[in-house]
Amino acid sequence: MTTQDMTLDEVRCALAPLLPRHAAFDGWKPEAVAMAAAEKGVDADIAGLAFADGPMDMIDAWFASIDARMMEALPSSSLAAMSIRARITALVETRLALLAPDREALRRAVAIMAMPRNSPRAAKLGWRAADMMWRAAGDEAADLSHYSKRMTLAGVYAATLLVFLDDESDGHAESRAFLARRIEDVMRFERTKARFKGVGGGERLSLSRFIGRLRYPAI
């Protein structure tokens, strides 16, 4: 298929991974789209149509590409032997690793998403990331916990990203430690509650409400 035959969705997918390297210097602006299009040999006008809604369209496409790469990096076969807790941790850490080369673009993207007019769409992107991670982890909940898990994981992921933006430690150890503490806080709370109720507190019991309190982390 030539670039002239690509649909707008295909153009977005093709250009999305290239956008952050240009956005880091020029911002999430049409110039970044034009330069990414030139790299791929895509007509600049067609590329502009693919991102007609501006910066949030560009950020949305980039994050979608991160979703796809995360799933490729951690297929179900790699996660199968892990506990749910370990799966979620691995998925978040993989996302951070994929974002690491483009932290300046991410910093600019976070600033754009923080604008009041963009908050509804930013919330949808956070939900989508959390949903992808829970599905990859094998979550099949269909009750209220389906929603609570995603809402709270989205909150923890967002908090971890803020730490990650300024993390200069080797291998982003500070960000990974921050995430681990948030998860351990929840697990400790659930184990204590289980003992109080006189129920054996194993990891399976604790994780039935995993992240149920992660939206209220103690730093």
Closest by Cα among 121, 117, 120, 125 to 62? 125
Q: What's the pLDDT score for residue 168?
A: 94
Residue 211 gets the label, from left (phi > 0), alpha (psi -120 to 50) or beta, of: left
| DSSP labels, 124-188 | HHHHHHHHHHHHHTT----SHHHHHHHHHHHHHHHHHHHHHHT--SGGGHHHHHHHHHHHHHHHH
How far from 22 is each of 29, 35, 54, 173, CA to CA, in Å? 9, 7, 15, 27
The domain made up of 53-207 has a fold known as Tetracycline Repressor; domain 2 (1.10.357)
Using pLDDT thresholds of 50, 70 and 90, give the confidence band for residue 15.
Answer: very high
In angstroms, the CA 67 to CA 125 distance is: 11
User: Is the pLDDT reported for residue 27 higher than 90?
Assistant: yes
Name, in order, each residue with C-beta under 8 angstroms of 8's C-beta and a sequence gap of 6 or more. 46, 49, 50
In angstroms, the CA 150 to CA 102 distance is: 25
Mean pLDDT for the stretch of residues 20-28 = 95
Closest by Cα among 159, 168, 138, 148 to 92? 159
Question: The tokens of 5 are what?
Answer: 């035959």
132-168 tens-digit pLDDT: 999 999 988 788 888 888 888 898 899 999 999 999 9
What does the domain layout of the chain look like in residue ranges?
53-207
191 three-class SS: helix
Q: What's the pLDDT score for residue 151?
A: 86
Helix (H) or strand (E) holding 23: helix 19-26
Q: Which is higher by pLDDT, 86 or 191?
A: 86
46-84 tens-digit pLDDT: 999 999 999 999 999 999 999 999 999 999 899 999 998
Q: What average pLDDT does the structure give for the chain?
A: 87
In angstroms, the CA 17 to CA 66 distance is: 8
Helix (H) or strand (E) holding 210: none
